[in-house]
């Protein structure tokens, strides 16, 4: 049922908004899948130091993400609360992309390379935060209609997943050209920055220009304080959603960061095909989820396929490297299908949590919630890469030189298998357990929509008030 009395988003606006998450999916994919390999095998930074280059900037994100959430919550401009920050972040992102992929492999000093990577990533994470946190908040505010919101967030995640797929395949292709000697490190740099920078920045700026906020803006501003930053954690539904997001995100980050190493050094399979399986399964998942979300509770969609992921993880961990390569491909299908619900649902569930918080407190501070979600995502990526970097270094990983791919010691191969399989089994089992206790089922969400409409009407707030302050 809907409480909306007038039309909401136009079709072009829906497409523009959804395309805004091209950076969300593609940018995360480039970092989680390619960046550790890029730093170790292209730039020549030891794995342990390469992990630090991402972990240290994420400590800054612990301040940066909640701060951006609070700033966008308290903003009152003629363009809304979120769009000015999205526009500024999109502009800075172009320069940040140029910094993180800088071709510094010819530098002699490992310390200098590492310090550059840390500084560049500090810049990149700041720009990304200015985009991601307000955009995540905007996903709860572009419409007040429950069914339309579900549809546009599924569409948004479709763009995100397709972007992640294309960026992953494109990035791995470019790295393959480099490792085979077809292009130089500088040519690799120009392609990474020119192609992907354009793909990311243009949709972001278009969102800032074309999309509008429709939920009522609270008349009172929130005070910026530590208590305000962590206040979303008071809500049981948000705590459970955040835990589900961690399980899904950290699993994907570990699998993504290790897929190159697993394909090259453990089972010797085609990494493009391996990644293509994940991509294809997720795209099919959108069709299924787009239909299920109309009548099935979102936590059920999250948890139902997880047993498939557990079976696939066992195969990844135990399948002998000298057996036919179709085995790991089958395992990849099972893992991709098993975690597809988590990949697709976390941000689709997010607006429901914001509704729950507004109903309880009378405030709609989506930026604070989005800031913690974005911080969690960034920390999971950095933690995954740091742990993987340490694992590779401690097990004796041999860094390639002059386009030569060495055979890795047995300890490295075992470490790669154990890390991939163990992460999937532990985290997705935890996600399955938590999702069974998630309180915002579909009937609960439908009742909340009616209660919110009544609450806003009693307070004299209308949808049109969103653009009036």
Mean pLDDT of 97-121: 93
Q: How far apart are CA 10 and CA 156, in angstroms?
A: 15
Mean pLDDT for 43-48 is: 87
CB 399 within 8 A of CB 40: yes
Per-residue pLDDT, 56: 86
Residue with the bigger pLDDT between 405 and 180: it is 180
Give the Cα separation of 385 and 32 in Å (integer). Answer: 7
The model's pTM is 0.75
Summarize the confidence of residues 276-291 as an average pLDDT. Answer: 80
The pLDDT of residue 219: 65
pLDDT digits (tens, 9 = 90+) for 187-222: 999 999 999 999 999 999 999 999 988 877 766 666
CA neighbor of 298 nearest in space, from 343, 359, 354:
343
Instruction: Read off the pLDDT of residues 380-389 as tens digits, 9 standing for 90 and up.
Output: 777 887 788 8
Q: How many CA atoms lie within 13 A of 101 on its CB side?
A: 26
The reported pLDDT for the residue numbered 1 is 43
Tell me 144's DSSP state: -
Question: Where are the chain's structural domains?
Answer: 12-215+231-458
In 180-305, which residue ranges form alpha helices assigned H by DSSP? 185-191, 197-210, 226-230, 236-265, 271-292, 298-303
Integer Cα distance of 140 and 367 in angstroms: 10
Backbone φ and ψ of 21, nearest 5°: -90, 10
Cα–Cα distance list, 151 to 15, 82, 131, 347 (Å)? 11, 21, 22, 12
Say which residue the tokens 């994100």 belong to: 61
Q: What is the mean pLDDT of residues 273-279?
A: 79
The predicted pLDDT at position 465 comes to: 47
Architecture of domain 12-215+231-458: Up-down Bundle (1.20)
Backbone angles phi, psi at 431, to 5 degrees: -60, -40
pLDDT tier at 148 (50, 70, 90 boundaries)?
confident
pLDDT of 96 higher than 80: yes
């Amino acid at each position: 049922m809907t409480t909306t009395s007038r039309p909401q988003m136009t079709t072009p606006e829906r497409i523009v908004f959804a395309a805004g998450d091209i950076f969300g999916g593609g940018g995360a994919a480039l970092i989680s899948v390619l960046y550790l390999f890029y730093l170790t095998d292209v730039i020549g930074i030891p794995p342990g130091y390469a992990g630090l280059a991402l972990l240290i900037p994420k400590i800054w994100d612990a301040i940066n993400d909640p701060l951006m959430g609070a700033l966008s919550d308290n903003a009152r401009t003629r363009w809304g609360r979120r769009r000015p920050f999205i526009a500024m972040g999109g502009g800075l992102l172009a320069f940040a992309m140029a910094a993180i992929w800088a071709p510094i492999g010819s530098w002699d000093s490992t310390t200098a390379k590492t310090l550059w990577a840390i500084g560049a990533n500090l810049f990149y994470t700041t720009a990304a935060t200015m985009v991601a946190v307000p955009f995540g908040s905007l996903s709860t505010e572009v419409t007040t209609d429950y069914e339309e919101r579900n549809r546009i967030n599924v569409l948004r995640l479709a763009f995100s997943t397709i972007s992640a797929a294309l960026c992953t395949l494109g990035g791995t292709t470019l790295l393959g050209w480099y490792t085979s000697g077809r292009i130089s490190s500088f040519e690799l740099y120009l392609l990474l920055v020119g192609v992907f920078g354009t793909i990311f920045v243009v949709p972001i700026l278009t969102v800032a220009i074309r999309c509008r906020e429709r939920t009522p803006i609270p008349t009172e501003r929130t005070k910026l304080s530590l208590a305000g930053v962590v206040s979303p954690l008071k809500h049981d539904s948000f705590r459970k959603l955040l835990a589900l997001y961690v399980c899904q995100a950290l699993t994907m980050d570990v699998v993504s960061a290790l897929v190159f190493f697993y394909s090259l050094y453990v089972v010797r399979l085609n990494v493009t095909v391996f990644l293509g399986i994940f991509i294809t399964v997720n795209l099919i998942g959108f069709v299924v989820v787009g239909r299920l979300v109309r009548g099935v509770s979102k936590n059920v969609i999250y948890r139902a396929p997880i047993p498939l992921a557990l079976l696939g993880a066992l195969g990844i961990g135990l399948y002998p490297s000298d057996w036919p390569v179709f085995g790991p491909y089958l395992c990849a299908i099972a893992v991709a299908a098993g975690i597809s619900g988590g990949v697709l649902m976390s941000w689709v569930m997010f607006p429901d949590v914001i509704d729950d918080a507004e109903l309880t407190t009378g405030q709609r501070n989506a930026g604070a919630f989005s800031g913690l979600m974005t911080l969690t995502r960034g920390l999971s990526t950095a933690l995954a890469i740091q742990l993987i970097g340490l694992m590779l270094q401690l097990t004796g990983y041999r860094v390639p030189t002059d386009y030569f791919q060495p055979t890795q010691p047995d300890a490295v191969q075992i470490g790669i298998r154990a890390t991939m399989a163990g992460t999937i089994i532990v985290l997705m089992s935890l996600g399955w357990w938590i999702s069974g206790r998630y309180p915002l089922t579909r009937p609960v969400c439908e009742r909340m929509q009616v209660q919110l409409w009544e609450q806003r009407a009693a307070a004299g707030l209308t949808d049109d008030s969103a653009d009036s302050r």
